[in-house]
Structure 1
Amino acid sequence: MSRRPARTRPTRAQTRERILDGALEAFAERGFHGSTQEDICERVGLSRGAYNSSFRSKDELFFALYDRVIERLQSRLEEATACALSMPGSTADNFLKAFIASYPFDRDWYLLQAEFGLYALRHPAMASHYAERQGRILAIIEGALADILREDSRIVARGLPRIARLILAVHEGSMFQGLLEPHEVASGELLDFLVDLMLARAATRVD
């Protein structure tokens, strides 16, 4: 008789990822405050004990989701930068195309981020944690920009922190507009327009 394969329990990391996936789905569907621990556990088929061993609160769960987004964004930006630098033509244009392709509109994440952002603004303790993570995103964007701008002399590499903030603001604002009016704003369209404006201004200064 053949032996049945031994049943293996999921690792702590695998359990954590399942909870994060279920939480993102629940938060997007019912809202951050409307979702319960029981709802999240039911979605992913886990006990409350498994949940409690990974997360102590919904706030902690949200920030874990945010950390995962940051890690994925960093990986995508590193790939986009490497791609842009290896292709012929304008590295700024190439980078933008690669960035847009790897960081499309994400409805579920935007809904959660928008709701929790308002919650954080009303609670200073949460706002500091939220700002710290946004700072990490801005640093990642700024670092990628620094690599790109060294190869593209049309844009003067001054004020990178503000340029990074502008890119993040345009991206998040265009996500809202694109989700609200999908036929009016395509993914990446406003970022593309922003870079066109920056390059046009740089060309005017050179002339």
Structure 2
Amino acid sequence: MGDLRTVSHRRAVTRQRLVDAALGVFAEQGFGRTTVEQVCDRAGFTRGAFYSNFSSLDELFLAMWEQRSADMVSGLHTAFEERMPDQVGSVREAVEFALAVIPVDEDWYRVSAEFTAHALRTPGMRWVMAERERGIQRALLPVIERLLAMNGQEVVNRDALGQALVAVHDGTLVQCLVEPDDEVVHARRVDLFVLVVEAHTKESR
């Protein structure tokens, strides 16, 4: 039994190192240009170690994506809880707080953009994208609602607001990454979020 646990632990460590290595390689090379050898070199393993854990780069890509997405959602929830203000004075203040907590990660954006395109081309994988968006909404909406309640606002349609927030975040993030030093781009991102939130909320009675 002890040997089995040792083998299982070793396998889990190997698998995790491959997943961790994959993010960097995919971000640098692009999924379509990445090879098994490149991932193995980054992780410090042989092809045999790779194929004892994954049947293909597609399977590794999906495992990396799902784990990273789950970690991101969990991290967002924790960050919001730890940094939640005692009060906010306006919708804009609530939006500015939320955007300050949400990380801007160029490597992850490169990978997620490629995965989106890959999922749209691959039958049966669109559900992964849909679940990712639902996960983000589940993490963000309760926090957004708490922030808005501090300012006497309530959400009119949770699903509509959740979808709109994800769409605005993904779209404006591209602009911020392309022009990271342009203050106008970042200011307009905040403006757009404020308009979206205001369109989906009303004053509490």
For normalisation by structure 1, the TM-score amounts to 0.76
Equivalent residue runs for 1:1-207 within 5 Å = 11-83=10-82, 85-90=84-89, 96-154=95-153, 156-184=154-182, 189-197=187-195
User: Relative to structure 1, is the Cα distance of residues 88 and 65 closer, same or farther in structure 2, using a 3 angstrom cutoff?
Assistant: same
Secondary structure, counterpart of 1:55 in structure 2: coil
Q: In 2, distance between residues paired with 1:202 and 1:166?
A: 9
Instruction: Give the Å deviation of 1:38.
Output: 0.9
Structure with higher RCO (Cα < 8 A, 6+ apart)? 2
Instruction: Give the Å deviation of 1:32.
Output: 0.5
For normalisation by structure 2, the TM-score amounts to 0.76
Gaps of 5+ in 2: 1-5
Secondary structure, counterpart of 2:45 in structure 1: coil
Is contact 1:41-1:48 (8 Å) kept? yes
Secondary structure, counterpart of 2:127 in structure 1: helix
Instruction: Give the Å deviation of 1:52.
Output: 2.1
